[in-house]
Chain A
Amino acid sequence: MGNTKVIAAVYGPRKVQNWGQQINDQALVRCEYRMANFSTGDRVRRPKGDRRTTEISLVIRQTMEACIMTQQMPRTQIDIYVQVLQADGGTRSACINAATLALAAAGIPMRDLVTSCSAGYLNGTPLLDLNYVEDSAGGPDVTLGILPTLDRVTLLQADSKLTMDAFESVMHLATEGCMAVADYIRRLLREHTKQLELRRGV
């Protein structure tokens, strides 16, 4: 997404590594989010497992858990690893979109493709997908994740205050953004599948 670049990798469904965590009637979904040291404008050496990292890992995990059909794969584990190469605002959304694509490419059964997009509100106008500079301007930032065909919201985070009216318009804009991303992702996946088909000579 613009200057924000992330890579996602999915391992699984595979045997649960830690016996204590095994869930007998559904799959265990785990997620690790990591930022490369060079990803931000100013170089910071971030220790692994700081609070922001843990929080985003949790957010991604919960969002993905909502769409994976975990009941179909009891006693297994699915690992999602997300690595941020470049951060320029909207890393959360980018990570979720990347994770969706990776899960779909891994052939893991899902209810729907979760897509995410952020939106903000600056100088009386709602803005879609804030970059780092816009984000640091101090305006509100709403991250939204939806299941586009089921029309459900799976993730909603907002900081800073907003009037109800403004929130509605921002939310509306973010939903539109998610839908646009969904269309794009669907198209990408179709192309990917076509290529796989070609390669197999079906």
Chain B
Amino acid sequence: MEESQTSTIKISEVSYHDLCAFVNYLYTAEVNLVDDQRAEDLLAMGEKYQVKHLKAYCENFLRSKVSASNALKYLTFATKYKAEDLTEASLNVIIENMNKLKLQDEYKELVKKDPHLVIRIYDMVGLSAGEKHFIKGGIDQDLRSDGRKRLTYRPISIETGVIPQANGSARLRMGDTDVIATVKAEIGKPSHLHPNRGKVAIFVDCSAIASPVFEGRGGEELSTELSVALQRCLLGGKSGAGAGIDLLSLNVMEGKICWDLYIEGLVINADGNLLDALGAAIKAALSNTGIPKVNVAAEFSAEEQPEVDISDEDFLRFDTSSVPVVITLTKVGKHYIVDATSEEESHMSSAISVSINSRGQICGLTKRGGAGVDPSVVLDMISVAKHVSEHFIMKLDSEISAAEADEAVS
């Protein structure tokens, strides 16, 4: 071998400065990434010589440098050197700027040179450009891909009393979206700020059954977003005023005992419009809820908690006529639609969720999604939501009473 005779190895593919930095890193574990080029070269060497720390360090450095102008370049680079984090970072940037990037020559070149990468980009987007165009075009012409108009809901079916262990429960299906809402009542102590009011808490959980994405902690972000949005829409302000549920009716003995309501939502199948479905399911579950009558023992001293006797036979029913429904309007292009499927949601620009009660009053409002909306459009959307809500509440009420009747029969 030539190397054993001359005792030198020629490394031709790297520059002198890069090699110096590399050797320096091997001895001192310190590296000065003067520019992007240096980081790229060192990452390549890190991969070649399996110096994992260095590779990870450079990757981290480069991740912050990814922008719309260089994302395609970095995607090719990162896949070549198997830098997963950098690949993901550049893919994310590419997807955000897909429309602009498509027009660039660099993109066309990539299509020719490396179609596999382009497929990977489209895997991330989920829908092809053609499909997107189709959905958008349909919405423009007021005929969506499942034959609905812009402001029609999917058929709803409700089943009440599905969880006998809870005080009230309902399962609601809206197209392929499937959710369960339960209400549990527990005896608690009112907060000293509002001694005559009960407490209500709403939690939402996204089951991994709906989608593998929700596995482990995956669904947590969405769960929190949904629970907070529902709390805003149904519970009213901090003082409890304006809440859809009359908190005064949860009072048992002022300052001593009240009912704590725990409302829990579980997403079994997600096909868009989860917020509306959960809102409606909670309304159905609340009307299914029976709160046991409570008898308080007559004598007790001021400091002690009085004894209570919970009756098994008598139940108090809630008045749910004032519980609002949530209507989400999703903006796609120039128009907005109600009850978007997950396909349609995947390219929404923004959405506004309005909660409206049967008297047409607005009880809460949330805007979701990234893009900004013109203020006049917001007002317009709210008035449309109000109009839609009248039909929706009517339909929902009749479904709820039908479900209750079904339950009573069985």
Contacts and interface: CB of A to CB of B under 8 A. Distances in A.
B186 A81 contact: no
B49 to A, nearest CB: 21
Interface in B146-203: 162-166, 169, 180, 182, 184, 186, 203
Given A43-B186, A81-B215, A38 B208 contact: no
Contacts of A11: 212
B209 interface: yes
Interface in A48-94: 48-49, 79, 81, 83, 85-86, 88
A9 B209 CA distance: 5
Question: Interface centre among A5, A32, A36, A38, by most B CB within 10 Å?
Answer: A38
Interface string A27-48: 0000010101111110101001
A32 B180 contact: no
A36 B208 contact: no
Contact of B264 (A17, A32, A36): A36
Interface in B224-273: 262, 264, 266, 268
A86 B165 contact: yes
Interface residues of B, number: 24
A49 B184 contact: no
Interface of A: 3, 5, 7-9, 11, 17, 32, 34, 36-41, 43, 45, 48-49, 79, 81, 83, 85-86, 88
B207 interface: yes
Contact of B182 (A9, A38, A45, A49): A38
Given A34-B207, A37-B205, A41-B165, A79 B264 contact: no
Contact of A37 (B169, B203, B212, B215): B203
Interface of B: 162-166, 169, 180, 182, 184, 186, 203, 205, 207-209, 212, 215-217, 220, 262, 264, 266, 268
Contacts of B169: 38
Contact of A85 (B180, B208, B216, B262): B180
A7 B165 contact: no
Nearest to A10: B209
B207 A81 contact: yes
A83 B165 contact: no
A124 B68 CA distance: 74
Contacts of A48: 216-217, 220
A20 to B, nearest CB: 11
A34 B216 CA distance: 9
A32 B216 contact: yes
Question: Interface centre among B169, B182, B208, by most A CB within 10 Å?
Answer: B208
B266 A9 contact: no
Contact of A3 (B164, B180, B186): B164
B211 to A, nearest CB: 9
Nearest to B180: A85
14 contacts: A3-B164, A7-B209, A9-B208, A32-B208, A36-B180, A36-B207, A37-B264, A38-B165, A41-B165, A45-B203, A48-B216, A81-B208, A81-B215, A86-B164
A7 B264 contact: no
B184 A43 contact: yes
Contacts of B205: 36-37
A5 B266 CA distance: 14
Given A38-B163, A88-B165, 10 more contacts: A3-B164, A7-B268, A11-B212, A37-B264, A38-B182, A40-B165, A43-B186, A81-B215, A85-B162, A86-B164
A43 B186 CA distance: 9
Nearest to B209: A9
A40 B266 CA distance: 14
Pairs A-B, 7 closest by C-beta atoms: A81-B208, A9-B209, A38-B182, A83-B207, A38-B264, A81-B209, A11-B212
B93 to A, nearest CB: 22
A28 to B, nearest CB: 13
B209 A43 contact: no
A8 B217 CA distance: 18
A79 B180 CA distance: 23
Question: Interface centre among A3, A5, A34, A40, by most B CB within 10 Å?
Answer: A34
B183 to A, nearest CB: 9
A79 B268 contact: no
B212 A79 contact: yes
B264 A85 contact: no
B352 to A, nearest CB: 29
Contact of B208 (A49, A83, A88): A83
A41 B186 CA distance: 11
